[in-house]
Amino acid sequence: MKAMLLSAGLGTRLRPFTDCHPKALAPIGDRTLLEINIRKLVHAGIRDIVVNVHHFAGQIIEAVRQHNGFGANVLISDETAVVLETGGGVQKAAPLFDNEEDILVCNVDILSNIDINALYACHRQYQAAATLAVQHRSTSRNLLFDRDGNLKGWQNNVTGEVRPADLGSTGHLVPFAFSGIQILNRKLYQDIPLQGKFSLIDVYLYCMNSHIIKGFDHTGDVLLDVGKPEALEKARAILDEIS
């Protein structure tokens, strides 16, 4: 299995650091988000990793070069001209996966001790087009699954918006918070039916009635969204748990 670290975002919540640097290079102790995530993937047996870049792209490219890919074979997907969001980013990078059957896609600003091999085993068990890591935790937006773990919708807990709009009652569905970690099969990532800028969530909601989109519950695992300066301090405190 190959992997992709989504690293092209502007990281506005991490200002002032991201006024001069990409969020992927935010420091956690003596390492960066990029290094921590790449080394975790290598430890799980994944050595071919695509990193997409946009904001201060040259700094990420240079960091990869200086550290010999942090032990991985790193390929760069260049979004310097325009950032494509998570779905568009995977679509653009698809040729770099060289027809790999399954790819692991993670947000670079998410740190977790999730068992990647268990996630992959679940994905293979159901022969899913995509398997999404999810947890029971407080969030402003939920993915909605049926009792068999199949994706059926999305809801905004603040505004009440649901997708699809004709979803109807959600009482029979199980809400989960998405962890920003997923595995995609090539039948999905090579044939994404959208164009331009779009999120992976858009892809899953569009395809959930024609493809198997599963949830993998890893409630209880450490999961930290390092999107704000105060989260960097928390990440340093739990680094041993997530490395």
**123 with 149: CB under 8 angstroms?**
no
Element (H, E) at 93: helix 85-93
pLDDT of residue 232: 82
SS3 29: coil
Name the pTM for this structure.
Answer: 0.94
pLDDT of residue 64: 98
Q: What is the DSSP letter of 58?
A: H
**129 with 190: CB under 8 angstroms?**
no
Residue ranges in the chain whose pLDDT is less than 50: none
What is the CATH number for 212?
A: 3.90.550.10
Number of domains present in the structure of the chain: 1
- Which domain range does residue 6 map to? 2-242
pLDDT of residue 11: 84
Q: What is the pLDDT of residues 3-59, one digit of tens each?
A: 999 999 988 888 888 899 999 999 998 899 999 999 999 999 999 999 999 999 999
pLDDT of residue 171: 78
Q: What is the DSSP letter of 53?
A: E
In the numeric block, the tokens 């999810």 are attached to 134
Find the helix packing angle between 33-43 and 57-66, rounded to 10°: 50
CA distance 243 to 240: 5
Structural tokens at position 38: 């790449």
Per-residue CA distances from 178 to 29, 161, 181, 232 (Å)? 26, 17, 8, 20
Beta bridge partners of 145: 151, 174
The overall average pLDDT reported for the chain is 94
